[in-house]
Amino acid sequence: MPASVKLFTGNAHKGLAKEIAKCLKVPLGHAFVGRFPDGEVDVKIQENVRGADCFVVQPTCYPANDNLMELLLLIDALRRASAWRVTAVIPYYGYGRQDRKAEPRVPISAKLVADLILSSGANRVLTMDLHAGQIQGFFDVPVDHLYANPVLIEYFKKKRLSSDKVVVVSPDAGGVERARAFGKRLRSGLAIIDKRRLSPNEAAVMNVIGDVKGKAALIIDDMVDTGGTLVKAAQALKEAGASRVFAAAAHGVLAGPALERLESSVVEELVVTNSIPMNGKSSPKVKVLSIASLMCEAIRRIHNDRSISELFV
């Protein structure tokens, strides 16, 4: 067994890494992650990691390429420094939406990123709410896949919304399983938005399948990017008779005009986790919940060879 747990991070989300370290009751590892004069990433581990169980916390969010390169070099540096095991902790897996060839002559970027992480020397991966579950199969090492649902569900339970007056809504057919699991925990009904995508960043909502009249609708998705799908889905729910509209997502990408769209929409509140740093972005309609305790417990269980799935029973 390794002598100790050591936690490292790049520049992607130091705040989350510090929260996890505090929860684990270990100091954040000493590593320099900077830039050479020509812009290349400069990494140096500044403490002994020989024989240690090392975890690198680094979501590959914006700027995705910089954050991914930092992750790869940190893993490589730890491996070459004789770490016993290196686990890539990726709360948000960038490039995850490019998981298949949806049209001719395009890359499968999610697979390429997995190959890069493996080549850097990662012994296992810990991530959360992958856009497509099959991305786990892109890796030839163990992948522990967490879900933000327990964190989000606990928040909405505290809002004390009556179960017979709440309906959980999937914004598309692909998210039905996620919405069904969420609704089961809240003991609420289920509805689906039938949409037709006009372009990669724009969607036209066509129809609401399910009874939402007079109920509080809770839209569940894995991420909110530019907010186009969310805003149009919320409007469709209102037109179908929903009394109130809330939304929740594991990852608040919130790119481009997302916040402006949200603030002018019928959505009362959007709840996301801190898998991605807000970096100064804020809105009175956005509530950010911490996943530090969830990640902390998962890391503790990995280190002690205990079950991860027990967290979601």
Which residues, 6 or more positions from 160, have their beta carbon under 8 angstroms from its beta carbon? none
Beta pairing, strands 189-199 & 202-209: antiparallel
Among 18, 22, 165, 195, which one carries the catalytic annotation? Answer: 195
> Is 159 one of the annotated active-site residues of the chain?
no
d(CA 244, CA 266): 8
Which residues, 6 or more positions from 18, have their beta carbon under 8 angstroms from its beta carbon? 28
Taking each helix axis from N to C end, the angle separating 109-120 and 64-80, rounded to the nearest 10 degrees, works out to 30
d(CA 18, CA 220): 28
Cβ(189)–Cβ(166) under 8 Å? Answer: yes
What does the radius of gyration of the chain's CA atoms come to, in whole angstroms? 20
Tokens representing residue 149 in the block: 């649902």
Distances (CA, A) of 223 to 67, 115, 148, 161, 292: 19, 24, 11, 23, 18
DSSP 83-101: -SEEEEEESS-TTTT--S-
Cβ(28)–Cβ(17) under 8 Å? Answer: yes
Tokens representing residue 126 in the block: 């810990």
Catalytic residues: 195
